[in-house]
């Protein structure tokens, strides 16, 4: 029988070419230059992922003589209010200093003072871990090393299904988001680094892609893992940031640690050293917002330093944005506002459960970055567990025999894809449908939550699952790949509502606040809410797992 799709074989397949994925690919080649490493990247690896350009800090580093992994575990445990597995976070911080030195050897810029010391800021509840970085080309540096190492990168390729043989993951089906062409990768090991669910709640401005994290992140990694049988947790941690109104870009630590003032709507000053997103959200919802940043009192050199970071290293589009708003940092103010709701392992506590080796519950499947659950790991967690996942996947691939491709799995997927393409006569554009799905997420899943709202969310997601087939028009390849993304958003919303309904308490401030259970209940709920797949995709199994201590 003749098949009209290419098949490539490799040892390690990395799904997602952001910070964690790039580091995983590099490390896999360092471990064994002769092994075949492939990356499926949904965008263009040079500028993809949450760190699409540069970065101003490496968030978690145990600098010798300043901090320790033990102190970090204690500090992050406070930030997570106890819902944190200690070994994975310890392992991440334990390797953080070596990671920084490795990045420096790649000419990533970490500024030094006159004594040759790094600037280390306190942005955690205890200890100083945040090391200043000044590298506007961070992602380009990473992507260049990926390509130079001989990794095969397939840009514009969305992973749409994992392949399995028995209980083991053996590769993935990819789809080119521009041509619709299918490509199949037969792999000994697979690493999921496809980000979180940035496109989840709808931003206040209504713009589908105006989100805080990379807008291509639609929960693909979560859904691939879930369908393959992995365990997930933290979906009740519905994260909302408090950041620049309408552009949702980083700002707080960059400005406040350099002397800017944080004021509420009535001119009252807020804390500068460690501003709490949770407390600012609460103040906003109590009617004392919006908060704003004032820099008019700062000397010119400080303002220029802040502008340099914001306009070159972080997100260069900010310069055009502020000019368009007639905002001059020397005289004006920067208005802050709640972002859309999103799910994320790096900034938050949502993801695929992994151990210290980045192993999931499914043999041959690993996870890192925002896809994995290394609570509040940020960029350090993405880099370190990107490396760890590559080390584990390389070792697994070396001792594992490749299996013959199961063509029936691919054929079944192609049939399902073709049935979507048959929806060209349906009346509703996929963009309009996505808008409604995410508006309903805002209505029923965004905190404050209660049983009634969460039940309504689950009812709506069941309905949307049917309407995506019966009503949504798929007229071309662009519509097709957007339909897959919306399918993932719906699945993530279902998991979020399910986990939120199960955790009958309030925790993490506004990120899981239930009016019907307004208090923290450590006695009953100091544990993980774990989700896994039942017989059908919509059949989500719930279990509870104890917190893992050192």
478-508 pLDDT, tens digit per residue, is 999 999 999 999 999 999 999 999 999 999 9
* Lowest mean pLDDT, pick from 63-77, 127-141, 184-198, 270-284: 270-284
63 falls in which pLDDT band (50, 70, 90)? very high
Calculate the alpha carbon distances from 92 to 29, 139, 354, 356, 390 in Å.
21, 21, 12, 9, 14
Residues 6+ apart with CB under 8 A from 386: 19, 20, 21, 22, 23, 24, 27, 193, 368, 369
CA distance 131 to 119: 6
- CATH domain 408-522 topology: Methane Monooxygenase Hydroxylase; Chain G, domain 1 (1.20.58)
What are the DSSP calls for 93-119, one per residue? HHTHHHHHHHHHHTT----B-TTS-B-
Mean pLDDT of 247-260: 84
pLDDT of the residue at 310: 86
Distance of CA 10 to the CA centre of its chain: 26
pLDDT value at 439 more than 70? yes
Beta strand pairing call for 527-533 and 540-546: antiparallel
pLDDT of the residue at 125: 84
Distance of CA 190 to the CA centre of its chain: 18
pLDDT value at 274 more than 90? no
CA distance 246 to 165: 46
* Lowest mean pLDDT, pick from 9-13, 20-24, 42-46, 305-309: 305-309
412 falls in which pLDDT band (50, 70, 90)? very high
Cis peptide before 290 (omega within 30 of 0): yes
Mean pLDDT of 426-444: 98
- CATH domain 7-238+343-404 topology: FAD/NAD(P)-binding domain (3.50.50)
Residues 6+ apart with CB under 8 A from 354: 88, 360, 366, 367, 368, 372, 373, 374, 385
271 falls in which pLDDT band (50, 70, 90)? low
CA distance 92 to 146: 22
Mean pLDDT of 245-269: 87
Token couple for 240: 């909302």
- CATH domain 242-338 topology: Flavocytochrome C3; Chain A, domain 1 (3.90.700)
* Lowest mean pLDDT, pick from 120-129, 227-236, 334-343, 405-414: 120-129
Q: What is the 3-state secondary structure (H, E, C) of 448-464?
A: CECHHHHHHHHHHHHHH
The phi and psi torsions of 517 (rounded to 5 degrees) equal -140, 75
CA distance 413 to 158: 14
Token couple for 529: 């809410």
Token couple for 175: 């789809």
pTM value is: 0.95
Of the ranges 97-111, 284-298, 318-332, the best mean pLDDT one: 97-111
Mean pLDDT of 161-175: 97
258 falls in which pLDDT band (50, 70, 90)? confident
pLDDT of the residue at 4: 85
Mean pLDDT of 151-174: 97
- What is the distance between the terminal CA atoms of the chain, rounded to a whole angstrom? 54
Specify the residue for token string 């200093």: 97
DSSP-based helix, strand, coil % in the chain, nearest 5: 40, 20, 40
Token couple for 534: 């039942």
Radius of gyration, alpha carbons of the chain = 23
213 falls in which pLDDT band (50, 70, 90)? confident
Domains in the chain: boundaries: 7-238+343-404, 242-338, 408-522
Calculate the alpha carbon distances from 307 to 132, 133, 172, 293, 401 in Å.
15, 15, 43, 14, 53
Specify the residue for token string 């880099």: 383
Q: What is the mean pLDDT of the chain?
A: 94
pLDDT value at 430 more than 60? yes
User: Which uninterrupted H or E stretch holds 278?
Assistant: helix 277-283
Torsion of CA 345, 200, 24, 65, to 10 degrees: -30
Mean pLDDT of 158-184: 96
CA distance 199 to 217: 6
pLDDT of the residue at 151: 98
Of 70, 82, 123, 83, the residue nearest 379 (C-alpha): 123
Q: What is the 3-state secondary structure (H, E, C) of 234-270?
A: CCCCCEEEEEECCCCCCCHHHHHCCCCEEECCCCCEC
Angle at 118 between CA 244 and CA 306, to 5 degrees: 30
Percent of the chain past pLDDT 70, that is, above it, reads: 99
Mean pLDDT of 171-178: 97
């Amino acid at each position: 029988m003749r098949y009209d799709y290419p098949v490539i074989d490799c040892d390690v397949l990395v799904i997602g070419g952001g910070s964690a994925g790039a580091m995983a690919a590099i490390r896999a080649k360092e471990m064994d230059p002769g092994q075949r490493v492939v990356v499926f990247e949904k965008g263009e690896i040079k500028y993809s992922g949450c760190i699409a350009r540069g970065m101003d800090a490496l968030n978690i580093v145990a600098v010798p003589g300043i901090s320790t992994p033990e102190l970090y575990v204690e500090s992050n445990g406070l930030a997570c209010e106890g819902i944190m597995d200690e070994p994975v976070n310890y392992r991440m911080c334990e390797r953080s200093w070596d990671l920084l030195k490795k990045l420096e050897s790649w000419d990533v810029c970490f500024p030094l003072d006159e004594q040759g010391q790094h600037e280390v800021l306190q942005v955690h509840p205890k200890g100083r871990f945040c090391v200043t970085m000044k590298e506007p080309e961070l992602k380009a540096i990473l992507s260049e090393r990926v390509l130079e190492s001989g990794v095969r990168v397939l840009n514009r390729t969305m992973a749409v299904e994992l392949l399995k043989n028995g209980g083991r993951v053996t590769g993935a089906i990819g789809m080119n988001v521009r041509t619709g062409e299918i490509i199949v990768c037969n792999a000994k090991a697979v690493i999921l680094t496809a980000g979180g669910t940035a496109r989840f709640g709808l931003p206040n401005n209504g713009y589908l892609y105006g989100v805080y994290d990379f807008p291509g992140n639609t929960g693909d990694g979560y859904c691939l893992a879930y369908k393959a049988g992995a365990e997930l947790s933290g979906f009740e941690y519905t994260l909302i940031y408090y950041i620049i109104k309408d552009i949702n870009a980083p700002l707080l630590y960059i400005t406040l640690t350099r002397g800017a003032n944080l004021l509420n709507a009535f001119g009252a000053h807020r804390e500068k050293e460690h501003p709490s997103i949770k407390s600012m959200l609460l103040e906003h919802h109590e009617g004392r917002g919006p908060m704003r940043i004032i820099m008019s009192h700062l000397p010119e050199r400080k303002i220029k330093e802040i502008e340099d970071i914001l306009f070159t290293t972080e997100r260069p589009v900010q310069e055009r944005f502020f000019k368009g708003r007639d905002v001059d940092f020397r005289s004006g103010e920067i208005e802050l506002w709640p972002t859309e709701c999103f799910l994320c392992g790096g900034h938050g506590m949502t993801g695929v459960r992994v151990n210290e080796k980045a192993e999931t519950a499914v043999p041959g499947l690993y996870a890192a970055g925002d896809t994995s659950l290394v609570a509040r790991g940020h960029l350090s967690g993405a880099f370190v567990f990107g490396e760890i996942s590559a080390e584990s996947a390389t070792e697994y691939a070396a001792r594992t025999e490749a299996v013959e491709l199961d063509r029936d799995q691919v054929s079944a997927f192609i049939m399902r894809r073709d049935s979507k393409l048959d929806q060209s006569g349906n009346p509703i554009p996929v963009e309009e449908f996505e808008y409604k799905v995410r508006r309903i997420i805002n209505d029923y899943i965004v905190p404050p939550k209660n049983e009634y709202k969460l039940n309504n969310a689950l009812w709506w997601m069941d309905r949307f699952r049917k309407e995506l087939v019966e009503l949504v028009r798929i007229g071309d390849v662009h519509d097709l790949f957007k339909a897959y993304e919306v399918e993932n958003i719906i699945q993530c919303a279902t998991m979020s509502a399910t986990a939120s309904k199960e955790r009958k308490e309030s925790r993490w401030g506004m990120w899981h606040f239930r009016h019907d259970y307004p208090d923290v209940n450590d006695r009953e709920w100091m544990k993980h809410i774990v989700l896994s797949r039942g017989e059908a995709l919509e059949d989500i199994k719930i279990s509870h797992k104890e917190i893992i201590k050192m």
